[in-house]
Chains A and B, each alone.
Chain A
Amino acid sequence: MADATDIPQHALERMKGLRGEGHAGGVFTSDFSVNEFLLVRKAGFEPVGLCVGSCIYHLGIQYGAWSKNQEMDVLSQAMYQARELAMARMREEAADMGADGVVGVRLTVKRLEWDEHVLEFVAIGTGVVHAKGHTTFKGPKGQPFTSDLSGQDFWTLLHAGYRPLEMVMGSCVYHVAHRGMMKSMGSVGQNVELTNFSQALYDAREIAMERMQQEAADAGAEGVVGVDLHEGSHNWQPHIIEFFAVGTAVLPISTELDASTIPDPQLVLSVNS
């Protein structure tokens, strides 16, 4: 965690006023919907404030060999490091406001119009604290936990007997080889698998997943829930694509709940749709 003096004065003042408890007249800020707020409270947590981390990052330059499937390690590192910086800054803000964790984290990437190599990464979520002061909900190394789960999913996860530890991710930017003239000519008019492309996509997804799994293992997680594999080209050259795996690493709450103690959900029909 960074020294509190790293945080600008106006941000410190904002955070001081956030928690009603101990700061009479303090207010919390959040981007919770009404239902999310109710369910986070039902789960035994209170919001303390919106946590934001951002990073504007210049991507290094790397060229893929025309006819080679290969990871673009400069870009992979950049995409990972920039997201990690944004997340770390958000976590730092959460820690400074005394939050036990951050729920509903949204991690976005935007290209800035003046330079194709500059990307803006933003992580934003709501810091929450356990209403009765339990400290066992913190993430790895006593840091606030982070999770991209909504307030509703947070309630459900706790009821399933798990708690969130950390938002884990793995990135792999990959150059998919161009096919040679002779190879292309050889398959004109045919229905045939283009194996070099299959291999490239398979390998890139596999690398992204391996990295995310490694992060989860390092955090001491039992599993990762809500995993999604995103693909994006961020306006790079054709044939360069990023595979990004992201999910929430989870751990059973103290001792694992026996499955029979979890109430069986009922079939329902919504009347407010």
Chain B
Amino acid sequence: MSWLSRLLGGSTPPADRETAQAAKAASQARMTAWEQALAAGRLPDFVEKRLEDASAGRTPWISTMTPAELLLARTHGLRPLATVTGTCWYQYQRSWTEGHAAGWGSALARIRAEAVACGANAVVDVKMRTSPGGLGASMDFTLIGTAVRILGLPPSPEPVIATVPALEFVRLLEMGIVPVGLAVGARYEWISDASKTMGGSWTMNNQALGQLGRFWERVRRQAHADLKRDAARQGNGVLAHTQFGQIIKQEVDKAPDRYLGRHIVIGTVVDTRAGSSIPHSITTVVDMRDELSPLDGGATKSHNAYDSNETEGAI
């Protein structure tokens, strides 16, 4: 039956009607399962089953690893289990900074829950994603990565969540460096410009804007101090920072101008002994990979937190 006749109230054959009703009921049941699971801080049964099946080898494993990573994973006793995700759509009307920290925090707890469900020891290649089209002061905070098991180890109650790709994860482990998780530092602060001098509009000369500069420096340093505190709970170092900072001027009618400085920094926490040696020699090579080569410099997309992956013409 065409959409037009449905719209005009035409009758639907009973078989189609039953199928449609069954699909509607199934969709509603899934929604209810999600609602209850998220409220209780656990996973819906069907997600747990998918992850358990993948873990037991009853269904194909699903991995974001490249073939090169798969090769290294195999030689180093890592087995991919499943692609795991953590999603939280968070509204930050009261505080952008705290909201972003809370959003990533919830996503982290959820990806960890999925990793636990498939009996993983670690999640590698964790990418930070946001869906296009954030609504007002709210945004999607999503983490996607590959859960892996290290052969010979029992499932971990607290799997490691690493933003580094599998290649780097294995290399780090080999050198006695254990990526243990993510650390977040976030700060925001307002400053009032009662004398209207902070912005430098009073002078035609070159002039360092000291008060505003010091304010912005303080916000950044506090965010980095938060990052350090968060990292100290988990390990003794942070690698691969993602930073995002903004300074915004707000003009208010019949009141002094205000500036808002906000800064968020996220990194991979590692645990390592100071001064450990690197057991490998380094060979110089001519690289046969094309533009994508990680050897040619340029950051990987793994740490690109505030970009969606939507591009014109892409699948």
> Residues of A at under 8 Å CB distance from B?
33, 35-36, 38-39, 60-62, 69-71, 73, 83, 107-110, 149-150, 152-154, 156-157, 159-162, 187-195, 197-199, 201-203, 205-206, 209-210, 212-213, 216-217, 221-233, 238, 241, 244, 246-247, 249, 259-260, 262, 264-273
Contact = CB atoms under 8 A, between A and B. Distances in A.
A99 to B, nearest CB: 20
Nearest to A70: B27
A228 B64 contact: yes
A157 B67 contact: yes
Contacts of A246: 315
Contact of B89 (A190, A194, A210): A194
A213 B62 contact: yes
A235 to B, nearest CB: 10
A216 B285 CA distance: 37
Given A153-B66, A270-B286, A190 B60 contact: no
B287 A270 contact: yes
A149 B23 CA distance: 36
Q: 9 nearest interchain CB pairs?
A: A197-B89, A160-B71, A270-B295, A157-B67, A223-B61, A273-B296, A270-B287, A216-B60, A199-B34
13 contacts: A38-B288, A62-B3, A109-B315, A152-B290, A160-B74, A197-B135, A197-B140, A201-B87, A205-B87, A206-B50, A223-B60, A241-B131, A249-B60
Given A197-B140, A223-B63, A241-B133, A190 B93 contact: yes
A69 B283 contact: no
Contacts of B281: 266-267
Interface of B: 3, 23, 27, 30-31, 34-35, 38-39, 46-47, 50, 54, 59-68, 70-72, 74-75, 77, 80, 83, 85, 87-95, 98-99, 102-103, 106, 129, 131-133, 135, 138, 140, 142, 144, 146, 171, 280-290, 292-293, 295-297, 308-310, 313-315
A267 B169 CA distance: 14
B295 A229 contact: no
A162 B95 CA distance: 49
Nearest to A234: B310
Nearest to A71: B27
Contacts of B46: 206
Contact of B131 (A39, A231, A266): A231
Contacts of A272: 286-287
A194 B89 CA distance: 5
A131 B23 CA distance: 49
Given A228-B64, A273-B287, A192 B91 contact: yes
Given A38-B288, A198-B38, A201-B142, A190 B85 contact: no
A238 B229 CA distance: 40
Nearest to B130: A231
B89 A193 contact: yes
Contacts of A271: 284-286
A227 B64 contact: yes
B59 A108 contact: no
A229 to B, nearest CB: 6
A110 B313 contact: yes
Contacts of B295: 268-270, 273
Nearest to A109: B315
A202 B66 CA distance: 24
Contacts of B85: 202, 205-206, 229
Contacts of A61: 3
